[in-house]
Structure 1
């Protein structure tokens, strides 16, 4: 079989990174290279032509997931005409929704990768990207009357607990309770309403 063009090689690499970003959020970074390449529709042997190691892919896929999160925040701000409080409210509503709970592969890397990053050593690129991403997300959530880190911890905790209790009424109650706590006037949420 002939060699692939440079453009096709770049497309294959992008497909692997996209697939890894999704699968790592769905299943964790322990997904095997063989399973990942199969999900990307490529052969296992092609992996090492694109990446030096699985760790290098974890680094790149983590960065990709946080780039998506940043784009999502920017798009939300644009959609609400630069009104940060309205964009934050919409984000909280979406973040603490059954749809987000049920779609970790397309969702927030902070929640989906937390356990894997806790197991990474402090000198890994993925851990550095994750840590910066958490800080940036918390900063984006900051309001005049509430610390963004507190808001992020509430959102993250609620999402993780709702995923762990999915299929029970408690799961939806966790989401609704956290959403109300973060968005209702007088409880540290925004005052628009």
Structure 2
């Protein structure tokens, strides 16, 4: 019995989503194709009917995760009735919820440390996806790309440090310090 129209595309989408979640929580190098396929209830033998390589899957998972992050950040902005929209992004990005839910969080903190050791194909794709988030943050903050890059770097670095320490109180302090300094940085640009 043949599969219904669009079945293969739906399965591919489930594989990409599973990979994005796994990569965000455990990194790229530590997650194998069999683990990803098992995450969607498939054997690893079917992987190559959907993807040419793990690198291709990593690129698609990166795009999926970046689009998901932009969607979450846009939702944070949409819930602001008054006040600064960029502050809503800062508050969401540097929240305990974002820190604690790595499998659904921004992929940039998870991928950044691994990028130098990955293929040029993945690094080029990551660069394009990074540019997409920088453009989004810069647009919301109404700042230039250079300042948007600096702000996003501060946010990513804060999340990496907050996730790295074993002391929850210290982690919360890192998030709080990141929020204060990100907002101070924005304020200094407005005054310049």
Offset, 1:73:
3.9
Q: 1:168 to 1:8 in 2, by over 3 A?
A: same
TM-score by length of 2: 0.83
SS at match of 1:188: helix
Quote the offset at 1:42 in angstroms: 1.5
Task: Count residues in correspondence.
Answer: 186
Pair 158,29 (structure 1): closer, same or farther in 2 beyond 3 Å: same
Contact 1:33–1:54 (CA under 8 A) maintained in structure 2: yes
2:101 is matched with 103
Matching residue of 2:15: 16
Q: For the Cα contact (< 8 Å) 2:162–2:174, is it kept in 1?
A: yes
Corresponding residue of 1:140: 136
Structure 2: distance between partners of 1:179 and 1:53: 39
| Aligned-partner Cα distance in 2 for 1:93–1:78 | 13
Structure showing greater relative contact order (alpha-carbon pairs closer than 8 Å, 6 or more residues apart): 2
Q: Give the TM-score, by structure 1 length.
A: 0.82
SS at match of 1:51: coil
Cα separation, partners in 2 of 1:186 and 1:110, compared to 1, 3 Å: closer
Deviations 1:59-111 (A, max 9, x none): 11111112222333444444447x8x722111111111111111111011111
Task: Give the deviation of 1:3 after TM superposition.
Answer: 4.9
The CA deviation at 1:13 is 0.9
Secondary structure of 2:6's aligned partner: helix
Could you list the runs of 5+ residues in structure 1 that have no partner in the other structure? none
Inter-partner Cα distance in structure 1 for 2:9 and 2:184:
47
Alignment partner of 1:63 is 2:63: yes
Aligned counterpart, 1:117: 115
Residue 34 (str. 1) matches residue 34 (str. 2): yes
The answer to which structure has the higher helix fraction is 2
Query: Which segment drifts farther, 25-34 or 165-174?
Result: 165-174
Deviation track 1:24-71 (CA, whole Å, cap 9, x = no partner) reads 111111211111111112122221111111111111111111222233
Contact 1:182 / 1:189 at 8 angstroms: preserved in 2?
no
Aligned pairs (5 A) from 1:107-186: 107-122=105-120, 124=121, 126-142=122-138, 143=141, 147-184=147-184
Alpha-carbon distance, 1:116 to partner: 2.3
Q: Is the 8 A contact 2:87 2:183 kept in 1?
A: yes
- Comparing 50-59 and 13-22, the one that deviates more: 50-59
